[in-house]
Every structure is written in structure tokens, then in C-alpha cells.
Amino acid sequence: MRNSLLVTSDLKSVILVDTMQDDQRLSIGKRGVLLSVLGTDVCASEVPAELDNFITAALVGKKAFYEFEVLDAAKNQLCITYNDVNNAVFIIGITDIVMGLTGPNDVPQNKVKTTAVKMKNAPETGFASPNVILTRLETVGSKRFIKFYYLSAVATTV
């Protein structure tokens, strides 16, 4: 089961963790990466140019449900994981943490932002999730963010 994606420390790619394959580095730059569920595995794919119009139309009026400001990679961590029992993708961001080597330390709640997205109602409800998560790097003013959008996997217009 593939169930995790990691954001690289340069905050430019996600890596699909799969013990059966080599490095699965996917660019979250201009077009982004689509996350979906096939069977009971999380899947990831770079958005091809052929989907530009579809993605543009799907984003009209949509607001990112999660955003993570791209700051100093040494003090920030972003992780995406899939739990097949709950059919949910969890996005966990930890910001601006400076830890000493003095032993276990609790991370303050105001430094952690976690969001869960249900991808399928149950494992047996179909081969693939009816929705996808689009994640991509976006610039807003002088700041850069990794943004996550929850979109229908099916075209609503022709």
C-alpha cells in the first residue's frame, strides 16, 4: 500500500513513497500535482498541459482548503498521508519550530495545522475517488504558498 507523500526540503516537489519503485519526484510548480485514490492506494500525477483548460475551469470560484507558506525549510515541515481505513488524506504542516536536543518536546498547537479530506465513502464504493486534490506552488504578492484544492474529478461542462 502506498500511503504517503512527502514535500521535499526545497519545497518544490512531492515524492510518492512506494517501496516497490524508485524515487517518485513530482513537480508542484506551475501546473501542480493531482492526488487521488485508486482502490486503496493514494496516487499522484503531475498535471499535464492537456488539462490546463480543465484545471482553470475547475478552479473558478474555488478557494484553497489548505495553504502552507513556503518559508525556511529548516524550520518547516509539510507531510501528506493517506489512511485507507478512513479513506482520508491528511495534510500536516508544522511551522517555525526551533528544537533543542534536550529530549522530547511537545509541539505547541499553534505551530501545527492539520486537515483531513475524505476521498471515498468506503473502500468498496468504487475503483477511484470521485474527487481529487490539486496541490501546487503559487505566488501571492511577495509570498509563496503550497496550496491544496479539492476538485471534482469529472468535467461538469463540455
Looking at the chain, list the stretches that DSSP marks H as alpha helix, in order from N- to C-terminal side.
52-59
**Alpha carbon distance 101, 129 (integer Å):** 42
Q: What is the DSSP letter of 149?
A: E
Per-residue pLDDT reduced to its tens digit, 20-75? 555 567 788 878 999 888 887 788 888 999 998 989 899 999 999 999 888 766 67
Beta sheet of 13-17, edge-to-edge order:
25-27, 13-17, 4-7, 77-83, 88-94, 112-118
Per-residue pLDDT reduced to its tens digit, 8-30? 767 777 776 654 555 567 788 87
Q: Is residue 78 within 8 Å of residue 93, measured between CB atoms?
A: yes
**Domain residue ranges of the chain, discontinuous segments joined by +:** 4-152
